[in-house]
Amino acid sequence: MSEMEDIVAREAGPEGLAALVAAFYRRIRTDDLIGPMYPPDDLEAAEVRLRDFLLFRFLGDATYLENRGHPRLRMRHFPFEIGEAERDRWLQLMDAAMDEIEFPAGARAVVMPFFGMVAESMRNH
């Protein structure tokens, strides 16, 4: 485990990452810009996928890989039009979710730059 992953494991752990994802998806349900990208009957599954992905990325939990294989994030998000506005809103919602659950500062300092990089790489418009 890298030093950064160790920070997330120590400060947030699986419970903190799960709480973050739950707070984020509470916002997705009512968001007018990126909320419509999520089919209502898939919201719970999308939440599980993001939670499992973060547990894989930051804690080494293999559940995501066992269920979904390689993340291939850009390919999986290609059907959605993602521009600067969508990228920025995703990051704003995640930032607000972190505020809500009081996500630990050290873990936040590791996770937010990762989210920024991933959100930028998802842009296709």
What does the pLDDT read at residue 73? 53
How does DSSP assign 76-88, residue by residue?
Answer: HHTTS---HHHHH
pTM above 0.85, yes or no: yes
Assess contact for 99 and 27: CB atoms under 8 A.
no
Assess contact for 53 and 64: CB atoms under 8 A.
yes
Question: Is domain 3-122 annotated with CATH 1.10.490.10?
Answer: yes
Which of 76, 49, 57 lies closest to 114, judged by CA?
57
The structural domains of the chain, with segments of one domain joined by +, span 3-122
Residues of the chain below pLDDT 70: 1, 68-80
What does the pLDDT read at residue 71? 53
What does the pLDDT read at residue 15? 98
